[in-house]
Amino acid sequence: MKKIIFVFVSLTSTFGFSQEKASGFSVTYNKNVETYFLAEILSADHRKQNKDFELYKIKECSVYQPVVKNALQKFERLKNSKIAIETAKLNDVLMEKYGSGNDALMKPLLYHKEFPSSEWINEYRFNNNNLTKEQNQEATDLVKNYLTELSQFYTQENIEQFFIDNKDLYLGGINEYNQQIPVGFTHAMEQFYGKGFNAYTVLISPMMMWPIEDNEGRGIGAEVILPSGKKNIYEIASPFVRVEKPGQFGYDNQFQARFLSVHEFGHSFVNEEVYKRKDQLSKFKDLFEKSNLKETMIKTGGYGDYQTCVAEHLVRLGEIETAKIQKDSDRAKRLEEYHLKNNFIFLPQLEEKLKAYHSNRKKYKTFGDFVPQLLEVFENSNIEFINNTLAKNKK
């Protein structure tokens, strides 16, 4: 496999460092992402959608996320500032009008050069295949205008100094996460999917709030196409370990770190292949909505769209196969059990179907070439199988 060389571009933080043991992989943080999550904390009182949950996150996470606690102490005076109000408005509009959460903001934050710059790395476009061309353009303009405001906020309030003051917490988190990842997993992913990307970057986000239970946090995937045409892919990771004593930084859990990294990078291999075949999933759309699967997937992870359900299954399939390629049978088994427990009921059928992919890589050079065969698993299902399997999972 051709070695991928990681090249730092301007959107990566000064404090990040490359990791020798996994080619193309690095752990760092991004000032744009952290500044956005700071603005999100300040915006909670102004939210119309999910206000109670946003306030709960602050109350909960400020106890065991030191960066959140420090941010509140330093910037709480800005809760009625322009950026707080604009951040609340943006999130409410994205949810109400465009059906998107704050995960949709990670891509533009990374397309924008790192603050205090006001420039962009490349042309950014909001793109949701459930929206019209006009709606996507509206959302693009909305987000780009907001990032102009966020960049000005960064400069006016000297947010740079906050990162300097909290340098040790960010460096500690980077080092802690780096210790968890499996050696060479990017090579294993490239082997399975039959393609690769320019760089694979984990962005720790100690400012992102997600209530921690059983060492589970939140990961968000994003990607940036560079002017050269090469693509960098990212995972933005909230803390998943409660910081309760000195020397902890929120990322000291191997299973969760490995799961989130392979999972979020996997979306860059999978999503495009699923969403471009939207019309091939017409029967499954009906099954998804008429069975108990839609309700279950919403409870599982907010996956209320049939295309997302398919993509999430295939990403999890890729996690298991990556572990197998690395000859990590314990990880593969634990992932399979974990995902089946969380109602990804088509995994056994997908694994069986995948045998044809492994046995004929001359025909199926990439995972994308084989996706139409995997989609048959969903299309050929039935309501009785779906509901019965989900019912067994509850027992």
> Which amino acid, one-letter code, is at 55?
L
For 83-131, how does the pLDDT look when each residue is reduced to its tens digit (9 = 90+)? 999 999 999 999 999 999 999 999 999 999 999 999 999 999 999 888 9
- The tens place of each residue's pLDDT in the chain, 395 residues long, gives 222 222 223 333 333 333 334 458 999 999 999 999 999 999 999 999 999 999 999 999 999 999 999 999 999 999 999 999 999 999 999 999 999 999 999 999 999 999 999 999 999 999 988 899 999 999 999 999 999 999 999 999 999 999 999 999 999 999 999 999 988 999 999 999 999 999 999 999 999 999 999 888 999 999 999 999 999 999 999 999 999 999 999 999 999 999 999 999 999 999 999 999 999 999 999 999 999 999 999 998 889 999 999 999 999 999 999 999 999 999 999 999 999 999 999 999 999 999 999 999 999 999 999 999 999 999 999 999 999 999 988 86
192: number of Cβ within 10 Å:
23
69 vs 47, 55, 64, 126, 166, CA distance in Å? 20, 14, 8, 32, 11
> Which amino acid, one-letter code, is at 218?
R
Q: Report d(CA 11, CA 201) in Å as an integer.
A: 11
Q: Report d(CA 253, CA 176) in Å as an integer.
A: 9
277 vs 197, 347, 369, CA distance in Å? 22, 20, 12
Q: Report d(CA 318, CA 171) in Å as an integer.
A: 30
Residue 225: alpha-carbon gap to chain centroid: 17
Question: Please, which contacts does 85-88 make with residues 24 or more away whose CB atoms are closer than 8 Å?
Answer: 85/43, 85/46, 86/146, 86/149, 87/36, 87/39, 87/40, 87/42, 87/43, 87/46, 87/146, 88/43, 88/44, 88/45, 88/46, 88/47, 88/48
- Predicted confidence at residue 215, as pLDDT, reads 87
Can you state the angle between helices 51-64 and 66-75, rounded to 10 degrees?
110
Compute the half-sphere exposure of residue 338: CA atoms within 13 Å on the CB side of its CA: 15
Would you put residue 99 in left (φ > 0), alpha (ψ -120 to 50) or beta? left
- Predicted confidence at residue 394, as pLDDT, reads 80
Q: How far apart are the first and last CA of the chain?
A: 45
Q: Report d(CA 259, CA 219) in Å as an integer.
A: 10
- Predicted confidence at residue 271, as pLDDT, reads 95
- Pairing, β 231-237 against β 219-225: antiparallel
Q: What would the two tokens of residue 371 be?
A: 């996706």
Nearest to 307 by CA among 338, 271, 260, 257: 271
For 15-42, how does the pLDDT look when each residue is reduced to its tens digit (9 = 90+)? 333 333 445 899 999 999 999 999 999 9
Nearest to 124 by CA among 102, 103, 139: 139
Q: What would the two tokens of residue 136 be?
A: 């996507």
- Predicted confidence at residue 8, as pLDDT, reads 26
Q: Report d(CA 281, CA 296) in Å as an integer.
A: 19
CB-based contact 151:113 (threshold 8 Å): no
3-state SS assignment for residue 81: coil
CB-based contact 102:93 (threshold 8 Å): no
CB-based contact 280:375 (threshold 8 Å): yes
